[in-house]
Amino acid sequence: MNTDKLSFRLATVAKYVPKNARLADIGSDHAYLPCYLAKNAGIPFAIAGEVVAGPFQSAERNVLSEGLSEIISVRLGDGLDVIGNDEVDCITIAGMGGALIASILERGKDKLTSVNRLVLQPNIGAISIRKWFFENNWELISEEIIEEDEKIYEILVAEKGEPSKPYPPKKINQGLLLGPFLVQNQNQIFTKKWRLEKRNWQRIVSQLEGAAHTTETIQKKQELLGKIKLVEEALDGEESKRS
């Protein structure tokens, strides 16, 4: 992977960035994504934000070597702290856990006033991001699930709007967990992911049944059984449509 050829994961993120976006890429690592977009999609301005010194220095070197210093500003800082007020209108965050991404957005809420689009790629825990959208007036407008190097990723795209719009009224919990668009357009990767998750949860439930019946273990078991039911309903519903 380099600034001319992104990984499939980052290329999927890139395609959801509007062409004239003023971008902040948080956790930019080598700044591959903003460099690629500056060279191939004509974005006029980008911030490559990085909290760790090593990747920050790597991003600086890449931006300099590509001759993009006038377009891409590489900044060292935590989360959205690297963004000035009204500086950007699109934010990408890729390659972190969903709970961490949600916490970055929550801590940096005041930087989102000028932002029109969020493109987020959690490695795990996409439900945390969907819940954050729901609670903060961001509308999920698109989702994609992909597999690369035997790892499964979800890409979530949101704009300011009506948070409940993509969720069927009686299936909000299912949509938050699995993704409302992904449930409606199930592919082999979606099915693979949730069958694996379901098996893992069933294994944990079996272990909990043999453990002491404390309040904590009972609550955990009920939580997992609830998730298993949501997954079964989604997968069974799709199989019924095909039969």
Residues of the chain with CATH 3.40.50.150: 8-165
Domain covering 188-242 in this structure, CATH number: 1.10.287
Q: Are 164 and 172 in contact (CB under 8 A)?
A: yes
CB 231 within 8 A of CB 224: no
How much is the average pLDDT of 43-55?
95
pLDDT digits (tens, 9 = 90+) for 201-216: 999 999 988 888 888 8
CATH classification (class only), 8-165: alpha beta
Looking at residue 87, its amino acid is E
Residues near 50 by beta carbon (within 8 Å), at least 6 away in sequence: 27, 28, 29, 56, 59, 74, 75, 76
- Closest by CA to 94, choosing from 184, 174, 34, 137, is 34
Residue % of the chain over a pLDDT of 70:
96
Q: Whose CA is closest to 125, among 50, 227, 214?
A: 227
72-76 β-sheet, strand order: 72-76, 45-50, 22-26, 90-96, 117-122, 151-160, 138-148
In the chain, the N- to C-terminal Cα span, in Å, equals 42
Residues above pLDDT 90, as percent of the chain = 88
**Residues carrying CATH 1.10.287, the chain:** 188-242
Mean pLDDT value across residues 146-168: 96
5 phi and psi angles, rounded to 5 deg: -135, 105
* Average pLDDT score over residue span 92-102: 97
> What pTM was estimated for this model as a whole?
0.93
